[in-house]
Structure formats: C-alpha cells, structure tokens
Chain A
Amino acid sequence: MRLKTKILLILVLFLVSFNGKCLKKIFSGSSSSNSCSSTCVVGERYSIMYLDGCSRDLQGQSCLAGFLNFPRDCNGGCSVRIVRERSFGFFFTIDPSGADLNNLPSSVIASGQGIDATYGPPRVDYYNGDGFFVGTAYATSVANDGSWLVASLPNLSEAYSGTFTLQIVNKNADGDYVDFLGSGTVNCWGRDRPDSDGDGWYDDEDCFSLDPTRWYCDAGGGGEGGGGCVNEICPVEGPVY
C-alpha cells in the first residue's frame, strides 16, 4: 500500500472515531449478583431489549449512580441490547379529542411533528387516566411531512372512563422503538370505574366495596373483607407516629 493511501486511511479512521457516538450497546455475559448490570449515563433513560425471545422488554429504566441493573433473562443469562432512549417532548393533538368507550372510533389521527415511518410504522402506546399502560397500536398511514399519523385502537373493552394519554414512538434505524416523540390526550367516557358503596374508593381497590365506612383491608371487624380489590394492590391503614 502506498504511503499516501496509508495516511489517508488513518485520517479517515481518525475522523470516524472522533464523530462516532455510541448510542447502542450490546451486553452479554454474566454478572456477579442475581441480576445483570451495565454502566450507563446518569440522567438518561434506557430500553432493555432481551434477546432470548422470552423475557419482557423494559422501558424507561433510569441510570442510577452510573449503573443500570436489570433482571436476568428466562435462561438466567444477561443477553440483552441496551438502547438509550430519546425524548422529544412534542405536543400532539388527537382527533377525535373524546370518545365513548362503548362506541369507539375505528382509528384516531395524531397531529404534531417528527413522525417518521422510514424504518417502520410509528407506534402509539395507550395509557389510562391513572397512567397505566393499556395497549399499543401501530400507525396505518403517516404524512410525508411527518405532521400526522393515523392509528387504530387497542382493545379497550376493559378500560374505564378517564383521560387517556397516547404516546407516539418512532422506530429507529436499528429497529428499536426508542424515539419518544411526545403525547396527546383523549377524553374517554361511558364506562365509569365502579364505586358501589360511594366511599371514594373504587371497587377494585376497596377491601369493603359494599361498606362505605371501611375500605382498608386491615380495618378489622369481620364483614365482607377482600371486597373487589386485587390483593397486591389492596390499601392498608397507615402507621401511626
């Protein structure tokens, strides 16, 4: 190889190494504890994609003290891809802005900016009024200028009335949904969360759903106990100081 070519090659490598930014990290191997750990940038959030095809991917994982800890996969290993999330904070308007849960539209239009279908259809995540994830749908069409998308709705047959948040996520060149563009809201009505005894505690979080004087599971006095609440989320009376 001629000297000039060699130097040019070094120069090119030099350029690449200066401008390259590592966003994606593949982590494989075991960790000393019962979980896996990787270094990260404090203040950033990460998605953890498991490669075993079994474990549930994680989203929005905070970097604590420079480390990202996550559970081992179904095989007890740490084979994951860790991708730094990007959050753009754009505001989206949703059409329709309201909907009857008993008579939902077949699709919604989310208008805003930055929508990009280059690497795949953008994803729309639906969250209920309490912020809990209820389902996902994908864009069926996207404006060329990235200003709107049309998406179907997930199964909302068990959802209750409230203000739903629709979060729009782009797929990146690596095929990961980690570009969180922003969100918009839809007001849904027609199926109120039941509170049979009207004590302000919904049936699914009320240990005495037919007794308006009690709701805590440790309220005692026998009676209905258990109510309609799922055990893990039953409220208990607070400690006294």
Chain B
Amino acid sequence: MKSISLLRTPRSLITIALVILCVVFVGIVKWRTLAVHSDASEAQQISENESKRKFHERLGRGVGRIHLATNSDSLEDVRMSVNATADFIFERSNLKMSAETRQRLTEAEKKTLKGKTPRLSLDDLIDTLTETVVEQAKTLSDQEIDQAANTFQTTSSGEVISRADGRWGPITKDEFVRQMRSARDWAQRGEIALLESVRPLVKKEVDTCVDNLSEGLPDHFGRIREEGVSPIQATLIAYSVAADDPLDGSSSDTAEQIVKHRIETRQVKGSRRGSHKPYGSEGDLFSSPAHLLLDKSATKRLLDKYEGGKR
C-alpha cells in the first residue's frame, strides 16, 4: 500500500513518465536502426550486383577479347590464340612470352584441344602453381628477395602490399625480407610445412580467379571446374595469380583507371616509377614481382604437366 501511495506523488509520476519516454525512444531508435540496416543491405546488394555486372563487362573487354581456339580450329588459329594471349599479358604487365614458350604452348594447346593430352584439373593446376612458388623460393638470392620487396606496391609509409586490395595486409619491408628468407630456407630443406602453408593461399587465389572468369565469361571459361583448363587458360590463370591482375578492361579502360587512381591519390609526376603498364613490376595499377613467379622455368613446369611431367 505504501508503494502504491508513493507512485501517486507528482515527483514519482514524472519519473515514471520519463522512464516510459526513454523506453519508447530506445524502441524507436532500434526499429529505425533495423529499418535503416534493412534498406542499407538492400542498397548494398543492388550496388554489389551492379559492380559485378560492370566487372563482367570489363572482363569481356579484357581477357574476353582473346579468341580461344576450339578443337575444330587449325594449328594457325591456335598459334593466333597463343599470340593474342602473349600480347594481352605483355600489354598489361611488360612480361614477354619467348618464342620457345609460344611454340610449346601452341603445340600443347593443339594436343589438348584434339584430346591427345588431357586438360589439367584445377587441383592439378593449384598443385603445379604451389610447387612453382616453392621451387622459385628455393632459388631466390638475397638480392632477388630485396628486389621483390622493392617491387611490390607499397603504402604511403613504405609497407609492402602483396595483393592489390591489401587482403593479406601490409607488412614492413624488413618483415617481408625476413619471411621470404625463412621461406627460402624451408624450401631448401624440403620442409613439407611450406608446401602445406602455401597451397591454401594459392588455392584461394586460383578459386577467386576461376569464379570470376567462369561467371563473367561462361563461353570461354564456364566449364573449367568440371572439364579442367587448357594450356592457354592455365597460362592466363597463372599470370592473373602472379600479377594479381583481374584480367578485366581494355587498354583504354586500364588507362582511364590509372588516371583516376593518380587523381584520387593526387600523384605528382616522378613520385614513383612506372612501367607504362598497369600490372607487373612497376605497374601503374598494382606493382608486383610477377616475373619471379611467371618465368621460363615456371611455364616449362606448367607445360610439362600436360605431358605427364616429362621433358
């Protein structure tokens, strides 16, 4: 009874009113927040779909321009396909395909298209690229490791960014050099742990590349998960992973992207080196030592796979 009578005092009534007001307010805020979040996630979904659509269009203007030979095409058509692939990679990264590699790639592609040698499954491709990373690490000199540290894109404060979107996080050059030297030592000792730690990273990169290509260019790459990859497709994927090049956009698209990027970051001419190419060493969009992963021995290893690991 005492408590009921207390509630009847004007002071208590004001307090109760304020508490109710507070509860109502919290309710409204929560409801608004949920509504806003729902709208925001819907808008985000639309925006993501739109970005994806645009990316697929850019893929069409990029790697989609390469005519991939079919099993009915002549050797000359296959050669043109290889040359188009070589030109595409060179235009984007300054990496030059040698005459020897062109010849071997043409032969391997022709044999694969004719069904004389099987396509490489994605698992095999991942294994080959993983072995390549480990084998390349084995032979790196201190100078090459330093060069790699100085070639990778850096943040404004000089930290190394080993992937274009920074998904592996920036690390200091000293730390990068230390890790690379450790990796080299492990590789030289034949530590299986290195292979096991590199493979998931390579797999993730290959999977992302394959997902993008098969979704964006189903005619060219739509069935590679089921059927495997031809030598040209494997070369393109290996290059994409090595240079972190999404293979999208025509040369005018990438030129536009470079100008946009310079404007956004207010770059002054001469503030950084440039290869006049978007990717690869000193790339204007993303710089990486792609040549350390995609060199003659790496392409040889990849093409050997199509011949059962021989040669």
Contacts and interface: CB of A to CB of B under 8 A. Distances in A.
Interface stretch (B112-120, B186-194, B209-217, B273-281): B273-281
B95 A241 contact: yes
Interface of A: 3-4, 7-8, 11, 14-15, 18, 33-36, 45, 48, 58-62, 64-65, 67, 69-72, 125, 127-133, 165, 167, 183, 205, 230, 232-233, 235-241
A65 B263 contact: no
A60 B18 contact: no
Contact of A239 (B15, B159, B281): B281
B295 A239 contact: yes
B93 interface: yes
Interface stretch (B121-129, B162-170, B220-228, B245-253): B162-170
Contacts of A239: 94-96, 281, 291, 295
Contacts of A237: 96
A241 to B, nearest CB: 5
Contact of A205 (B11, B272, B276): B276
A4 B18 contact: yes
A36 B84 CA distance: 45
A198 B140 CA distance: 40
Given A70-B155, A71-B156, A127-B262, A235 B275 contact: yes
Nearest to A128: B269
Given A18-B29, A35-B158, A60-B264, A241 B275 contact: no
Given A35-B159, A132-B268, A238-B280, A67 B95 contact: no
Given A3-B11, A238-B96, A69 B267 contact: no
A125 B295 CA distance: 42
B96 A241 contact: yes
Nearest to A62: B166
B72 to A, nearest CB: 29
Contacts of A14: 22, 25
Contact of B291 (A7, A45, A62, A241): A241
Contacts of B306: none
13 contacts: A11-B21, A11-B25, A15-B25, A45-B264, A59-B265, A64-B165, A69-B170, A71-B157, A127-B262, A183-B263, A232-B273, A239-B295, A240-B95
Interface of B: 11, 14-15, 18-19, 21-22, 25, 29, 90, 93-98, 101, 155-159, 161, 165-170, 172, 258-270, 272-277, 280-281, 291, 294-296, 298-299
Contacts of B277: 238
Given A132-B269, A239-B96, A69 B159 contact: yes
B242 to A, nearest CB: 10
A230 B270 contact: yes
Residue with the greatest number of chain B CB neighbours at <10 A, chosen from A59, A64, A71, A165: A64
Nearest to B268: A133
B197 to A, nearest CB: 19
Contacts of B101: 241
Nearest to B257: A131
B273 A165 contact: no
A107 B20 CA distance: 61
Contact of B98 (A4, A165, A235, A240): A240
B262 A132 contact: yes
B263 A241 contact: no
Contact of B93 (A36, A125, A238): A238
B268 A36 contact: no
A235 B85 CA distance: 23
Residue with the greatest number of chain B CB neighbours at <10 A, chosen from A70, A131, A167: A131
Given A14-B22, A65-B170, A238 B264 contact: no
A86 to B, nearest CB: 13
